[in-house]
Each structure stands twice: as structure tokens, then as C-alpha cells.
Amino acid sequence: LGDVYKRQVLPIHAAHSVDEFSCRLLGVQQELPNALALGRALQGAILKDVGPAMRSSVGVAPNKLLAKIAAELEKPSGINWLHPSVMPGKIAHLALKDIPGISKRMMMRLERAGINDVSRLYQMTPKEARWLWGNVTGERVLRELHGETVIWPRKQNQSLGHAVSYTHLRAHET
């Protein structure tokens, strides 16, 4: 799936699983109308080349976390965007468990600390997040939630760059 779209629409920056990948947007691609058009082109290429059984949702945002959340907002075949200017309002309706990086165990810690919703999570300071998570991951998640580009340590099969915008695609079989 990835090679076809790399040639046709835009290069894949990172494959997160067999049905989920991110594309790094550069220059004028980062302008919202252009980014959304690229997302629609990606969805169109999947529809044309794979067929209607494989639907896809696309998220456009300044980092991978927000792009992933944006894609999840319009499942299974929509397109959405997130930007710090609309945060946290645009995701305030989500449950804490809907935020990538918040496990069931982490949710319990947050709730014990009086953080019961996304709006309150968003109000935390990076220092508070680091303390609650017990490590730097909390600070990184919070900074990404605020739209910052965070450089995560490289994993063997993953690389992160200094991108300003990402398109995140999630394919869904019907």
C-alpha cells in the first residue's frame, strides 16, 4: 500500500503499522487548504487503487500526535485538522483514553490528580505532566498536545524529524 501512494501523492515519512502512516508536509503543502487537498488526494488514490472496501481517515496537524487525533475524529473515511489555535476546544469532547499516550493505568493516575477531562489535561504544565507520568513522556505528550514538535528518541524502526505539519492516514477495512 505504502509504495503506491509514495509515488502518487506524497512521500511516506513513517509507517506506524500496516494500515497507519504519516507524511511530512513541507513548504506550501503546510497551508491548510493545500494539506487538506493532499489528504483528499490520498483518500482518492486509495479508493481508486484498492477499492471501496478500504476506507481511510486523514488528519492534518503540526505534529504526529495531533494529526493522529484529527484522523480519529473523522473515522472511518473523513478528513479533519487540528491546530493550536483551536485547542483544546476542538477535542474537549474526547475522553482521556482517546488521547494516544494515555493508557488505562495513566488515566487512573490523572483522575487521582483531579484531571478528568481533556481540557484539564491541556491546562497542565509540562512539569506537572512529567511528574504525573513519572518520566519525560508526560511532558512530551503534553507539548505535542499543544502543537509543539517534539523530538522523541529514535526507535529502531521509527524516525522523527523537525517537521511543522503532518498528514496522518489510517486505513480501515469494511
DSSP string for the chain: -HHHHHHHT---SEEEETTEEEEEE-GGGGSHHHHHHHHHHHHHHHHHHT-TTEEEEEEEESSHHHHHHHHHHTTTT-EEE--GGGTTGGGTTS-GGGSTT--HHHHHHHHHTT--SHHHHHHS-HHHHHHHHTSHHHHHHHHHHTT----PPPBTTB-----SEEEEEEEEE-
Tell me the per-residue pLDDT of 15-24, one tens digit each, with 9 for 90 and over.
787 788 888 8
State which of 9-18, 21-30, 48-57, 83-92 shows the largest mean pLDDT: 83-92
The pLDDT of residue 169: 61
Q: Rounded mean pLDDT of 158-172?
A: 51
Tell me the per-residue pLDDT of 92-133, one tens digit each, with 9 for 90 and over.
999 999 999 899 999 999 999 999 999 999 999 999 999 999
Q: Rounded mean pLDDT of 43-47?
A: 86
Model-level pTM? 0.82
